Structure 1
């Protein structure tokens, strides 16, 4: 379980607030070729331009698989702390309260797993002795959501008029793609904090570095997104849809046309929140820069200099969650 000292609790405490509900656009990934698919592509592009965030229906991931993975995750997080802390691999595994290397804390414990391009978990990345039944489920789930991510990126290319259609998706589907699966557990808020009328930071304000994030949770509130004016809005829970974040790398590829959404998780509920996030990143050596097709025939101004994914990832890991990681790469 998550245990924080009093000073640490004070560090992650937030004033009680009730932000408005976010109006989240829905994109139907099952739309057939023709007018319906063209309309879905337009909706997707508009959502990425306005919020950098939307939800996906018609994704084709069986609800039975989703429920089974959520149950397996809950079972893992219910294990004795010593067993969970023994579930560490290279370079990832189990973590608790500390997020990254910049000193950020949260009311959270998590699993972070490396994935192959097929969605499987390399044996070296995580010792599954603590949850042998969950290994196959996690791999099946990761492969399914990777297909969702690639389908969305192809639909996105259609909406932007980019050819070939796999211009962006192949960065996530490559054999060397830096794909990860993060499983977050936010335990119920500690009772003293609830009595004080405060909220806790589960995962602090940040953008995702990767190209795209595919997220779902167990229907518990807590996820919030920031609008262009900086105001926070609460994302309504949805037991059937997947939520999609535009990542920093996609903002670069679209030359800032799509925005990488700032988001956070706050904890105030007596119910545990479990979320699973597929993080689709390019290969380490992939060179990132605005796509020429989006700069116009006249060679429009590029907002970002060219850099490799490994260069960007290394830079982003050194800072705090709230840092603007793209600033050093702007022209």
Structure 2
């Protein structure tokens, strides 16, 4: 188990967890994939930018196996984890520090690139294999194969709901051999009552939007995830049997703002149990030019964004703080109306 000492705790932000009537709970759109309605997915992306999918076809044994292997990994000493997976890299093991720009959270994580076949790519996987973590590698590759397939299925339904002529118009970006997708295992250790202040929570992962096209999240049954709705933070009840789907910045651009890239965070209260989350970030190829799809533009509608490549956006996004409006740098200013 990672040990986050008191000095680290003091550096992590304390945030009020009270809403107007206590902590409000989000009403999350639910999509049943055993009888999918493409229009309901589109509506959820337009109104919230976030929804839950049930009956997704991914076996609980697959998700549970990865969760168990992840906990076994995070239970090792700090030195072991750094040796097993690398450190001070853009990928690999990390704790407390999120990115290079000063963001910190009450967590540790394992971050890796995804190859075109849906498995974990070098260098993290090779380090894990070389250092004896073969069972974690097997669980990772099994999980990544099925979660990528699920992400593509969701994007195909969205393409159908948007009326795109090609069902794979969006999913092919994830299937491309140059697809720049990522996977993240987050572990939020048991959290003491923050500084003895009831009604406050520790920042596990600060507020942000995901830069990629789409994100698929699965976590255990410990609460903490919140989304921003109508200017208010609302809690998302944990559900380890389902997957939560986020619209990313890239998809917001491709739909010219019709879909909303949801701002979200993890806020931790007093708990004696760990929170574990697994997030697949489906990204496009680096050279892909991001711009609103012409077929989705109404007659006379102007683009809200200037054209840019995913590589340009990724570089700009990772040079900012988590809470910054990353898309603001690429918006077209129209002047006062």
Verify same fold: TM over 0.5.
Answer: yes
Q: What secondary structure, in the 3-state scheme, does the structure 1 residue paired with 2:265 have?
A: strand
Q: Give the counterpart of 1:164 among 150, 163, 166.
A: 166
Q: Give the counterpart of 2:29 among 25, 42, 59.
A: 25
Q: Give the counterpart of 1:137 among 136, 139, 145.
A: 139
Q: 2:255 touches 2:292 (CA, 8 Å); kept in 1? A: yes
Gaps of 5+ in 2: 333-337
Distance 1:11 1:66, change over 3 A: closer
Normalising by structure 2, we get a TM-score of 0.92
Q: Distance in 1 between matches of 2:10 and 2:59?
A: 38
Alpha-carbon deviation of 1:14? 1.7
Q: Which runs of 4+ in 1 moved over 4 A?
A: none
Alpha-carbon deviation of 1:271? 1.1
Give the stretch that moved more between structures: 309-318 or 56-65. 56-65
C-alpha offsets along residues 14-37 of structure 1, whole Å, 9 cap, x if unaligned? 224242111011112232xxxxx4
Alpha-carbon deviation of 1:85? 1.9
Gaps of 5+ in 1: 32-36
| Residue equivalent to 2:312 | 311
C-alpha offsets along residues 80-113 of structure 1, whole Å, 9 cap, x if unaligned? 1110122216541000000011100000100001
Q: 2:106 touches 2:205 (CA, 8 Å); kept in 1? A: yes
User: Equivalent residues in 2 for 1:240-319 (5 A)?
Assistant: 240-268=241-269, 269-296=271-298, 298-319=299-320
Q: 1:188 touches 1:267 (CA, 8 Å); kept in 2? A: no
Q: 2:179 touches 2:285 (CA, 8 Å); kept in 1? A: yes
C-alpha offsets along residues 245-275 of structure 1, whole Å, 9 cap, x if unaligned? 0000000000000000000001112210000
Q: Distance in 2 between matches of 1:190 and 1:145?
A: 33
Q: Distance in 2 between matches of 1:278 and 1:9?
A: 30
Q: 1:205 touches 1:321 (CA, 8 Å); kept in 2? A: yes
| Residue equivalent to 2:72 | 75
Alpha-carbon deviation of 1:176? 0.7
Alpha-carbon deviation of 1:118? 1.5
User: Equivalent residues in 2 for 1:32-43 (5 A)?
Assistant: 37=36, 40-43=37-40
| Residue equivalent to 1:34 | none
Q: 1:2 touches 1:109 (CA, 8 Å); kept in 2? A: no
Q: 1:187 touches 1:272 (CA, 8 Å); kept in 2? A: yes
Distance 1:82 1:26, change over 3 A: same
Q: Distance in 1 between matches of 2:227 and 2:328?
A: 21
| Residue equivalent to 1:221 | 223
Normalising by structure 1, we get a TM-score of 0.93
Q: What secondary structure, in the 3-state scheme, does the structure 2 residue paired with 1:326 have?
A: helix
Q: Distance in 1 between matches of 2:216 and 2:25?
A: 20
C-alpha offsets along residues 143-202 of structure 1, whole Å, 9 cap, x if unaligned? 1010111000010011110111111111111111011110000001135x2633231000
C-alpha offsets along residues 203-245 of structure 1, whole Å, 9 cap, x if unaligned? 0000000000000101110000001x21011001112110000
User: Equivalent residues in 2 for 1:109-128 (5 A)?
Assistant: 109-126=108-125, 127-128=127-128
